[in-house]
Each structure stands twice: as structure tokens, then as C-alpha cells.
Chains A and B, each alone.
Chain A
Amino acid sequence: MMEYNPMRDEWIDEIGILAKLELTGKEREKAKQDIAQMIWYIERLKEVDTRDVEPSFGVLPVSNVFREDEIIPVEDRDAILANAPKLRDRAVVVPRTIG
């Protein structure tokens, strides 16, 4: 297999910010190797001639799928809220959001 360089620290930091993942220590070093290897793997995409080829966003010829904007009452609010890690008076409690 061709040699590839592990991903630079600033790249893994940037991806971490976008993906909201924070790797440290050995996991971070492994991720740098793994992601660099995966990018090396997909580099071969660039060799395919795609001039004048439209990208496919969907597979079937359906578009603009609309429905009537009807309000359907949600009756299982308690069931939904039961999954929340921390609740107070039916509000989800989280750590400080500002500052």
C-alpha cells in the first residue's frame, strides 16, 4: 500500500469542531491515521472522467413531494420527554449555554 501521511493536527481539530467530536490521546492519534488513510483511499475518485455528468441527488424521478400543512396533535409528549436525560417541569435541563 502507498505511504500516506497522518492528518495534520489542525485538520483533525477543524473536523472535530464541525463534527462536534473531541478526541484525545491515543484515540486522536489513531483517528489522524485512519482519516488520512480514508482520504487517500477516496482520492482515486478524482481519476474518473465526469465531464458533463450531472450529479444524482436522488435515484427516482420524484421531486417536490408536498402534502397539506395539517396540524396533527402530538399525544405522546410524556413518552417523548421520558427519554430526556434531565427534566424540570417538562423542560429539558442542560448545562449553561452562554458564557
Chain B
Amino acid sequence: MGEQDRKGEAMDVLDLTAVELGRQIKAGQVSAVEAAKAALLQIEATEACCHAFIQVDREGALKQAEEVQCRIEDGSLTGPLAGVPMAVKDNLCIKDQWTTCGSKMLSDFHPSYTATAVECLKQAGAVILGKTNMDEFAMGSTTETSAFGPTRNPWNVDHVPGGSSGGSSAAVSAAMCFYALGTDTGGSIRQPSAFCGVTGIKPTYGTVSRYGLVAYGSSLEQIGPIARDIRDCAAVLEAMAVWDVRDSTSVRRKEVDFTQALSADVRGLRIGLPREYFDGELDPETDSAIRYAARALEGSGAVVEEFSFPLVEEAVLAYYVIACAQASSNLARFDGVKYGHRAEGCQKLHSMIKKSRTEGFGEEVRRRIMLGTFVLSSGYYDAYYLKALQIKTLVSQAFARAFERFDILLTPVAPTAAPEIGKFLENPIRMYSQDKYTVSVNLAGLPALALPCGTNRRGLPVGMQMIGNYFQEKTLFRAGYSFERMRDYRKPDIGEVIRKGKSYSKGVKMATVEKGKG
């Protein structure tokens, strides 16, 4: 078989969703090793251009694929995701594997344990290809704050993939893996999913154990899947939604058979459109794509209604106060003593700690730690942090009132499609205000889904968000699945990505931190 035939076969495998691939592997039509090799070939072809990964573990992935294939053949692995190659955001610990959080601070860190969510997927037969790029310590909305260089959007490499799970979203979008894990503290699964034209869900707070997730905003964040479609998201979430004694915020959920909710039936589904989310800042193309989607759902029997939802801007302020405060506490552990970057040439411990932290953290992380420290400090705690927690209550109450009338809320994910690289880096406030459609969901702890609903004139994906009530992921999946049956989904032109990569690879600063050198 010639090289061209092999490449053609590899592309066919890459066209499959995770669940479709799992089915074919189970049926013996393709092996886990063949799927892993196809994904690795795709990474070789596109990574120079996209930079979705911080680390690709080629040997490890092929070894895992062989082991998983044996277990599938002997009948010990029977789940829908067995043998499917995937990627993990680099703030999730994998035992003995380099875990950097996109930071110089952890550029040579190897955890001694694996995150529960990753462990669940390994038990389900996942083949882990590598760790994906991210904004440093998950602080950012563009994946430009990574110490290892930015990720580029496979749809247009002059544009960001979003953040902070930009690497995971780009990897799924460019068919470098069949699904990936992301984390969402203020929109970091949903926004990059929208920017990269893929599907992602932040589950209800407490659904997925945070053990092994390097903490940023502990009361806000959840791990979730980023995948090609709703079925894949449902299958991955189902595998990870377990109660964990090692996470005191983990919830014992009863009905987590999310894949059973996939019916294309929205008759009688009450959908609310928050009027304040469709304001003058929303790009007209995004606005019309979402309203078109709303009309499509209405045409299938859903009941769609606009309503008033307050506190949009105030939620962003409250989010950043709370997230930065919690970050300042969570990142206090990074001091260069037992692990992480240690500054050289210090005679005293205290100086060493300050210098290690100042050198190890990037500008955005330092900014957020300082703001967080300020709002928690004596004399300011009540005015800022406690005030923000009060606004958090008001936001939760507003959602509670909304869910008395509606089953899901339909909203934008971001004011525009993916912006150009470099646009927001020098203006953090402007970047923060772009998160106004996503942060309220984290403040309330609700589940929310992002899925593609079109492309704009520049060919960039437009995504929409569906927000559900607590523990109502099944309702979200049903609505999203129904909409998928209606839309015409266009995957990125991978050939174009590869062609552009050849002209970009010389100009792109791929890594500003080398592995092992803090």
C-alpha cells in the first residue's frame, strides 16, 4: 500500500468522532494502535503551525494503545471510549509525566499522582497523546499567556484559539485527537470551544472531582470534555462523573448516564434568551447566528422567549475579585522550596521565595495574584471580596428565578468570533470584559454547554451557549443534540492549516521556556 493510500486511510480515521471510533475499534475494523498512529501523524503535520501541545508522548501513547488493544480483545475493556486517543490540558496531573500549567514555575515538575478525572478515562481505555497548551495557570482567555508560546486557531492561524483551554480546543478542532480535557473557571472550556468550532461542556460544580487539578479558583472551576459533538461530550462526562473522597466538594450524583439523554426532541422545551446578553457589544454576525439557532429550535417545537437578566457587568467584576482572591491563596504554595522554579544566588530563604515567585510567574499571573492579595487584605476584604460574594448570591438568585420559567437559557459565548493574536495582550481589562457571557455560570455553579452554530464572513466559527439548571446536563445534551441534527457543521480545512504552517513555522516563537529549565 502506497504512502498516499496510508495517508488517505489515516484521514478517514480522523474523520470519526470518538464514539464512532470506539465502535469501530470494538468491531475490529480499526485498532487502537492504528488510531493512535493516525493522530500522531496529524500532530506531526499540524503542530508546527498550531502549537496545541506542550508535550507529545509518542512512545507512551503507542505503548498505551497496544495495552488497551489487548484488553479490548480479551474482553476486559468494553466501554465506548476504549482505545480512543485523547489529550489532557496541562494543569491536570498525570503521575511521572511533565505537568507545567503553561508556566515557567513548573517547567520541570512531575506529579507523584494522577488526577481522578484522568484516572477515570484511563480505566475506560483512553490513550493519552500528550498535554495541551494553556494560558499560564489557566489565567487568560487566549492561550497567549503560556510560557511555552501561544497556540493558533486551526481555522485561521492569525487568530487565537481562545483560552485558557486553547490547546485542547485547537487539538480537537484540527483532528490531532478525538477529544480532550479542559478546565473551566470563568469560561475556559466554553469560549475556546466556540472559537475553534468544537463542543465543550462545563458540568455542574461538584460533578467531576478536582483532585489532581492544579487549583486556580477553587469555588468556580470544573474539569470537562471538549469534543467534536454532543454524543462524545456526553460519553466522556459520563466516564468522569464519579464521587471522590479526595475532593470535599465532590457531589454524589445519581443519574450520570448522560448518553441516554440523546434524543432529538425539543417539543415543549422552554428556552430563555436574556435580553441584556444581546446588547450593542455583541457582534452582529454572532447575534444573528444565535437568533437563527433559536428560531430553528422554535421550529422544532421549543418555546423561545426573551427575558430580563440583570447584573451582567457586575458579575464580571465579582468573578475577577473572587477568582483573583482564590488564585492568590492557591498559588501561595509555589515558593521554590519543595518543587517548582527556584531562583539562584539567594543567601536567605525569604529572598529566595520572593525571587523564585517573581521569576517563575508571568505578568498576567503576577497581576492576578496582586489584585487577589489586595482584595483579601485587611481594610479591603469587606469592600471587595465580601461584596463580590454578595453579588455571587444575587447572580445565583437571578438564575433561580430564570429557571422557574425556563428549562435552558440560550446565550452567546463571546462578543465576537476569535480575535487576532496579540489584540488583547496589552489591555487586560478589555480582555476581562469579553468574559461577560460565561462567568455568571461559574459564580452560580451551573452546567453550561458551548456548541457551534455557524461561521462568520471571515470563515471563523461562531458558537452559542446553553445554560442549564443544577444537575440538568441531560436537558442540555438533549437540546444540543437536537440542534446538531439541524445544523450544517463544517470542520476546518486541515490541508489549508498544513500549507499555512509551512510559511508560519519560521516566524512563530514556539517555546520561550525549555523543558526542564525553569
Residues of A within 8 A of B (CB): 12, 14-16, 18-23, 27, 30-31, 34-35, 37-39, 41-42, 44-46, 48, 50, 53-60, 62, 65, 67, 76, 79-80, 82-86, 92, 94-97
Structural contact, B313 and A44, CB atoms closer than 8 A: yes
Question: CB-CB < 8 A to A65: which residues of B?
Answer: 248-249
A94 touches B393 (CB 8 A): no
Name the CB-closest residue of B to A77. Answer: B112
Do B367 and A34 touch across chains, with their CB atoms under 8 A apart? yes
With known contacts A50-B390, A83-B109, A21–B354 Cβ distance under 8 A: yes
**Interface size counted on chain B using CB atoms at 8 A:** 71
Contact partners of A35 in chain B: CB under 8 A: 367, 370-371, 374
Residue of B nearest to A41 (CB): B429
Tell me the minimal C-beta distance from B154 to chain A in angstroms: 32
Name which of A59, A76, A92, A97 has the most chain B CB atoms within 10 A of its CB. A59
Is the CB of B219 closer than 8 A to any CB of chain A?
yes
Shortest CB–CB separation between residue B435 and chain A, in angstroms? 13
Within 8 A of A (CB), among B260-276: none
- B 291-330 contacts with A by CB, 8 A: 311, 313-314, 317-318, 320-321, 328
Establish whether residues A31 and B366, one from each chain, have CB atoms under 8 Å apart when the complex forms. Answer: yes
- Measured between beta carbons, the chain A residues less than 8 angstroms from B332 are 20
The one of A20, A59, A97 that contacts B396, using a Cβ cutoff of 8 Å: A59
Tell me whether A94 and B394 are in contact (CB under 8 A).
Answer: no
Q: How far is the CA of A58 from the CA of B392 in the complex (A)?
A: 10
A-side contacts of B390, CB under 8 Å = 48, 50, 53-56
Kindly identify which residue among A27, A46, A84 contacts B338, using a CB–CB cutoff of 8 Å: A84
Q: Which of B378-412 contact A (CB under 8 A)?
A: 383-384, 386-394, 396
Contacts of A76 in B (CB 8 A): 112-113
Set of chain B residues within 8 Å of A57, measured between Cβ atoms:
219, 389
26 pairs of residues in contact across A and B, judged by CB atoms under 8 Å: A15-B377, A16-B354, A19-B369, A21-B366, A22-B358, A23-B358, A23-B366, A38-B320, A39-B371, A41-B320, A41-B429, A41-B432, A44-B317, A45-B387, A48-B394, A55-B389, A55-B390, A56-B392, A59-B443, A60-B249, A62-B206, A67-B245, A79-B112, A84-B338, A94-B337, A95-B346
**How distant is A70 from chain B, measured CB to nearest CB, in Å?**
10
Closest CB of chain B to A88's CB: distance in Å? 14
B452 on the A face (CB < 8 A): no
Chain B residues lying within 8 Å of A62, measured Cβ to Cβ, are 206, 249, 251
The reply to whether B348 and A95 form a contact with Cβ atoms under 8 Å apart is: yes
B77, CB-defined interface residue at 8 Å:
no
A58 near B219: Cβ-Cβ < 8 Å: yes
**If A31-B367, A59-B396, A83-B338 touch, does A45 touch B373 (CB 8 Å cutoff)?**
no
Q: Kindly provide the distance from the CB of A14 to the nearest chain B CB, expressed in whole angstroms.
A: 8
Q: Is the CB–CB distance between B338 and A45 below 8 Å? A: no
Give CA–CA (A69, B335) in the complex, Å: 29
Which of A53, A60, A85 has the most chain B CB atoms inside 10 A of its CB? A85
Are the C-beta atoms of B366 and A45 separated by less than 8 Å? no
Select one of A31, A85, A86 contacting B370, CB under 8 A: A31
Q: Report the bound CA distance from A85 to B109 in whole Å.
A: 10
Distance, CA A22 to CA B91, complexed state (A): 25
Whether A45 and B318, one on each chain, are in contact in the complex, defined by CB atoms closer than 8 angstroms, is yes
CA distance A50 to B387 in the complex (A): 8
CB-contact partner of B371 in A16, A38, A45, under 8 A: A38
Give B446's nearest chain A residue, CB to CB: A59
B370 touches A94 (CB 8 A): no
A62 to B351, CA, bound (A): 41
| A62–B335 alpha-carbon span in the complex (Å) | 32
Tell me, in angstroms, the Cα distance from A44 to B317 when the chains sit together: 8
A83 to chain B: closest CB distance in Å? 4
